[in-house]
Amino acid sequence: MRNGDGDTPRGERGQGLTTESFDALLTQLAPDRERAGELYETIRRKLVRLFEWRGCAAPEDLADETINRVARRLAEGVELRSNDPYGYFCGVAHLVYKEVMRRAAREHRALESGDWPPPSSLTDDEPSDQRLDCLRRCLQELPADQRDLVLRYHQGENNIRNRQALADQLRIPMNALRIRIHRVRRKLETCVHECLSR
């Protein structure tokens, strides 16, 4: 596990995860070690996304910092509530986030200010030929029904209507369609990433 840098709050930076605290974390997550490991990975992945959704530029570092702090507290004897084991992670994540925000404000880097320059991806550059080629190859590797579905989902104007028609056709609720598409997109994301890395 990384200690984190970048956005990581200064206060506890550098205090990594010890074997003791990691064991304490796994023990409280689940009695079965393998299951505990899975839960740990899930929580970490979700924390990364939560920090991303809050617009943090180094979400992995902040997720690691959150987990490190939780693990240290558990090693000190704090117990996770069995009916809401995630609540503690969430509370610590909020503290970490607020520290980042305070630091950013101090450094005049208002993360949420309207005059913050947009990220480089804001440009209207077309996707590169290489990326498009990779995506086409990855689409070809999908089962035909999934390929058809994901293309139709992304087609053209009047998207909401198209999607509702798709959901009606499949006889599933719109959110089920969204999730189905998202799973296909995840496959494509992985495939395109691997293709571009070659």
Query: Which of residues 87, 110, 141, 194 is near another protein by CB under 8 A?
Result: 87
4 forms part of the interface with another protein (CB under 8 A): no
Phi and psi, residue 165, nearest 5°: -65, -40
Residue with tokens 């200010």: 113
In the complex with another protein, the residue whose CB is nearer, 27 or 169, is 169
Query: Which of residues 77, 107, 108, 140 is near another protein by CB under 8 A?
Result: 140
Measure the CA–CA gap between 61 and 12, rounded to whole angstroms. 12
Stretch in the footprint of another protein (CB under 8 A) among 11-19, 29-37, 102-110, 147-155: 147-155
Q: What is the DSSP letter of 176?
A: H
| Radius of gyration over every alpha carbon of the chain, rounded to an integer in angstroms | 21
Stretch in the footprint of another protein (CB under 8 A) among 21-29, 71-79, 99-107, 172-180: 172-180
Query: Which of residues 13, 73, 103, 147 is near another protein by CB under 8 A?
Result: 147
Q: Do the Cβ atoms of 71 and 24 come closer than 8 Å?
A: yes
Q: At what angle do helices 85-106 and 59-75 cross, to 10 degrees?
A: 130
Residue with tokens 């992945």: 45
55 forms part of the interface with another protein (CB under 8 A): yes
Query: Which of residues 34, 76, 107, 126 is near another protein by CB under 8 A?
Result: 126
What CA–CA distances, in Å, run from 163 to 92, 147, 183, 185?
A: 38, 15, 16, 15
Give CA angle at 59 (48, 38), nearest 5°.
Answer: 25
Count Cα atoms within 13 angstroms, Cβ side, for 3.
9
In the complex with another protein, the residue whose CB is nearer, 33 or 98, is 98
**Residue 18 beta carbon to another protein: minimum distance, rounded to whole angstroms:** 24
**Residue 175 beta carbon to another protein: minimum distance, rounded to whole angstroms:** 5
| Residues in contact with another protein by the rule CB under 8 A | 42-43, 46-50, 52-59, 84, 86-87, 89-90, 93-94, 112, 116, 118-122, 126-127, 129, 131-133, 135-137, 139-140, 144, 147-148, 150-159, 161-162, 165, 169, 175, 178-179, 181-183, 185, 188-189, 192-193
